[in-house]
Copies of this chain bind each other. A is one copy, B any other.
Amino acid sequence: MTDDIGAFVPGPRVRVEGRTGGPLQGLTFAAKDLFDVAGVPTGGGNHDWPTGRPVPSRHSWAVQTLLDAGATLIGKTITDEVSLGILGENAFDGTPVNTRAPGRVPGGSSSGSAAAVAAGLCDTALGTDTGGSVRVPASFCGLYGIRPTHGRIDVTGMLPQAPTSDTTGWFARDAETFARVSSVMLGEAIPTVLPTRLIVAVDAFGFADANVAAALQPMVKRLATLIGSSREEVMAPPGLSAWARAQRMLQPVEAYNTFKSWLDERNPRFAFSVAKALVMGSLVPPAEQAWAQLMRQEVRARVAYLLPAGTILCLPTTPFPAPLVGQALSVLDPLRDRITCLCAQGGHAGHPQVSLPGTTVDGLPVGLSIIGPRGSDATLVAVAKALEATT
């Protein structure tokens, strides 16, 4: 199998056979280069990250779990540097091709994993999601993607960025494969009982391009029909932009704290935008951090209140389809901020979220997301599977 789309990290391709006889036997997977694979340096999307670090002697929990279940690892994939990025353009390793949206970014930071699955190079792939790094590429590449409940999936052997928001996620092209992989990763069967109530985050739809919001309506209707729910609309009281600003304050602070001794000792190379994010993280005054923490606390309570058992909330995964490759930072920064308005609740509240493919705008994929109560990950996957069966 060739890879002419630049999804895998440069150099010899890693391959580890899955165990025979498991539930995922016959499936192939790739792992974002934040996950340890025994005997292979973890690159982290940055050429100076591996320097001076021991080569992992054990697989990360996520890689080991998929191998034990029978899936075969066929490569490590490109990521935005140390997972700091939402568009998938890596200045060192290049931009994986989004075969579903030619000429456009794949989304990041789990860029190579999404691109590889979208191109059919593997059946599923591991990503990470701190501020949107699974959800955004799932939307841009037309895939199923999950950000699980924060704290649920063991992150041993995964390169951290902002631990209070970091999660391990995965992608698939079809709901059946998505459900098989999810069942293994979540360690539970995918239920048959579905939620009974659908609420619609109208303020989130307000951040989307008008044609995106319109294009997603048929899927919202199918969801409501599937669940047998009337349409209820909700808003995030202080405004999603306030939530986004608080997340954009807390996440870089935490990322800076994660990496600061490395920055100090190694003075590593970064694309300017990545270094800038870290510098800005180092400059947030403690009083600002404290107010942002209070907002996070409020978000958690609000999202938990909105989502009692049996309820799911839907919103556009991203406000628009994938932007063009190679645009200036002054063009991309405002786009990233709008994306953050939709994604910040994930990092704040830690609820599970699944992005559902199936909608396009001008031929470009864009995802509809469903969010459920903490721990309802498998139920969201069940909705994905049931919804696909209605098409």
Chain A interface residues toward B at CB < 8 A: 48, 89, 91-92, 263-265, 267-273, 275-276, 278-280, 283, 328-330
Task: Give 15 A-B contacts (CB < 8 Å), ordered by A residue.
Answer: A91-B269, A92-B269, A263-B272, A264-B328, A264-B329, A265-B329, A267-B271, A267-B273, A269-B271, A269-B272, A270-B272, A270-B275, A272-B275, A275-B275, A279-B279
CB-based closest 5 A-B pairs: A275-B275, A279-B279, A264-B328, A265-B328, A264-B330
How many angstroms between the C-alpha atoms of A247 and B268 in the bound complex? 26
Q: Which residues from chain B contact A279 at a C-beta distance below 8 Å?
A: 275-276, 279-280
Q: Which residues from chain B contact A48 at a C-beta distance below 8 Å?
A: 91
The winner among A92, A264, A283 for most chain B CB atoms within 10 A is A264
Q: Which residues from chain B contact A329 at a C-beta distance below 8 Å?
A: 263-265, 267
How many angstroms between the C-alpha atoms of A328 and B267 in the bound complex? 8
Cβ contact of A267, chosen from B91, B263, B268, B278, cutoff 8 A = B91
Contact A268/B91 with A275-B279, A276-B279, A279-B279 known, Cβ cut-off 8 Å = yes
How many angstroms between the C-alpha atoms of A198 and B263 in the bound complex? 45
The winner among A272, A273, A278 for most chain B CB atoms within 10 A is A272
How many angstroms between the C-alpha atoms of A278 and B270 in the bound complex? 13
The winner among A264, A267, A271, A328 for most chain B CB atoms within 10 A is A267
Q: Which residues from chain B contact A91 at a C-beta distance below 8 Å?
A: 48, 267-269
Q: Which residues from chain B contact A276 at a C-beta distance below 8 Å?
A: 275, 279
How many angstroms between the C-alpha atoms of A89 and B266 in the bound complex? 11
The smallest C-beta distance from A384 to any residue of chain B, in angstroms, reads: 35
How many angstroms between the C-alpha atoms of A72 and B276 in the bound complex? 42
The smallest C-beta distance from A133 to any residue of chain B, in angstroms, reads: 18
A270 touches B269 (CB 8 A): yes
How many angstroms between the C-alpha atoms of A275 and B276 in the bound complex? 7
How many angstroms between the C-alpha atoms of A281 and B100 in the bound complex? 40
How many angstroms between the C-alpha atoms of A329 and B329 in the bound complex? 27
